[in-house]
A = this chain, B = another copy of it.
Amino acid sequence: MIKIDFKNIFACPSAGVSEAKWRALGKDLPRLIKQLKTRGQGFHSVIDDAKTAGEIIKFAKAQRGKFESLVVLGIGGSALGLLAISQALNNIYHNEAGARGKRTPKLYVLDNIDPALIRETEEQLNLAKTLFIVISKSGTTAETVSQYLYFRKKIAQKKLLIKKHFVFITDAKTGWLRQVANAEKISAFSIPNNIGGRWSVLTPVGLLPAALMGIDIQKILASARQGRSSIFLANFSANLAWQMASAQYLLYHQGRSINVLMPYAQHLWRLADWYRQLLAESIGKVKNRRGEQVNVGITPVTALGVTDQHSQLQLYSEGPEDKLIIFVRVSEAGKKISIPLLTKTEVEFSFLRGVSFNKLFDVEYQGTAAALTKNNRPNFTINIKRVDEQTLGELFMLFEGAVAFLGELFNVDAFNQPGVELSKKMTRDLLKNS
């Protein structure tokens, strides 16, 4: 069960958001819940799709033991969610640990087309033992289709069966990948029509790779349902997603247009990366829903505790007053590891006596949050018990719910991304004219 502690926002007078002001905005909650429901988005209903979950698990079981490596061909929303799941629930050194005889396949995510990445990834693969997961909502993403064509040829050259080495995740009906799947009877899972790429982590996009690595996706879905239960409650105190969004919104209008997501958990920095896309693409919009030019957008920044205390904290503490810091704190970080003190010469480290890494890690979070607050830098903390399937689904729903509410608060369409089309068009034009 997630808890959020907002008090360090109100303890920063210059941030300009009092608890009363924040609670008062709650009057809009019932109206905005209604409004959000009219959007017809599926990010919160797809987690009830037991049929697809069952098919994913069945497919994963059938592949068990066949593959040493999974290669995801996907970019943006087709990569960041599954990376977040993998990093949260697998060993930090998953691919290396796998090489030592563990049973789950290694994971390679080709979310770029740098030739060096393609070449060096290919060198790692035994194609006969590789399953390619091709992910594109539209079925036409140029980078992903190119990679598919490339590895398809490699598989064919090895006289291996395309059908055995590829699985697609794409729209149920439209797009080139769906046509290929139909024509060649390649296994394919669907991304529901009403879920965009960056909202798709709890569809086959995130769940199929997870299941193939032996992760219990039913637990993730159950915890997501748990998290979802409060999103549509028109009750300020119960609705964490609303509380978070309304704090972000009010602070934005006080000049805090940068949101730093700083988990104190090595296993969660990819989750921060997933959130970075969700927040950036959903709220960064030139026009609001009335067609007026607004150029709004919260700039997400990812940071990692304690690591970035030694890289970014100086700026956060002393620089422009343009940031809100969002911490994620894990109360049970696993087995205690003690810090030994060996000799008398360490008297200057006496403050570490009897302290574990677990405690030092958590106290550094406390010291950092307190110091930022003292410097009038607003921050709040998302508290979870541990990083596991049972909290991950809840976190996904919290972040998705909060970003959806931000869309309603800013009155922008949080579910499209019109601003990337110009670059795609210019790229195509440059290729045609070259």
Contacts and interface: CB of A to CB of B under 8 A. Distances in A.
B142 A313 contact: no
Contacts of A422: 317, 371, 374-375
A193 interface: no
Interface in A329-367: 333-337, 339-342, 345-346, 348-349, 351-352, 355-361, 363-364, 366-367
Contacts of A313: 419-420, 423
B280 A295 contact: no
Nearest to A350: B432
A50 interface: no
Contact of A264 (B114, B124, B142): B114
A334 B115 contact: yes
A161 interface: no
B348 A140 contact: yes
A315 interface: yes
Interface stretch (A94-102, A164-172, A390-398): A94-102
Given A115-B334, A339-B150, A371-B422, A310 B120 contact: no
Q: Please give the count of copies of this chain that the complex contains.
A: 2
A38 interface: no
Contacts of A341: 149
Given A120-B93, A301-B301, A115 B420 contact: no
Given A266-B117, A361-B114, A318 B149 contact: no
A352 B431 contact: yes
Report the contact-size class of chain A (Cβ under 8 Å from the partner).
35 or more
A292 interface: no
The secondary structure that dominates the A interface is helix
Interface stretch (A2-10, A219-227, A319-327): A319-327
A426 to B, nearest CB: 4
A145 interface: yes
B281 A339 contact: no
A423 B371 contact: yes
Given A319-B295, A355-B431, A96 B97 contact: no
A365 to B, nearest CB: 9
A375 to B, nearest CB: 7
Contact of A280 (B281, B314, B337): B314
Contact of A119 (B301, B306, B337, B368): B337
A430 interface: yes
A311 B146 contact: no
A72 interface: no
Interface in A270-315: 276-277, 280-281, 283-286, 295-297, 299, 301, 304-307, 309-315
Interface stretch (A58-66, A73-81, A199-207): A73-81
B76 A92 contact: no
B357 A146 contact: yes
Contacts of A340: 149-150, 152-153
Nearest to A422: B371
Given A113-B360, A145-B349, A267-B116, A150 B337 contact: yes
A424 B75 CA distance: 39
A419 B315 CA distance: 8
Contacts of A311: 76-77, 80, 198, 276-277, 280-281
Contacts of A321: 295
Nearest to A374: B422
A418 B363 CA distance: 20
Contacts of A333: 114-116
A304 B76 CA distance: 11
A336 B119 CA distance: 10
A75 B426 contact: no
Tell which of A99, A124, A339, A370 has the most Cβ of chain B within 10 Å. A339
B123 A97 contact: yes
CB-CB nearest 5 A-B residue pairs: A297-B319, A76-B310, A284-B315, A367-B427, A284-B319
Given A149-B341, A176-B348, 6 more contacts: A76-B310, A92-B116, A93-B124, A277-B310, A284-B316, A364-B423
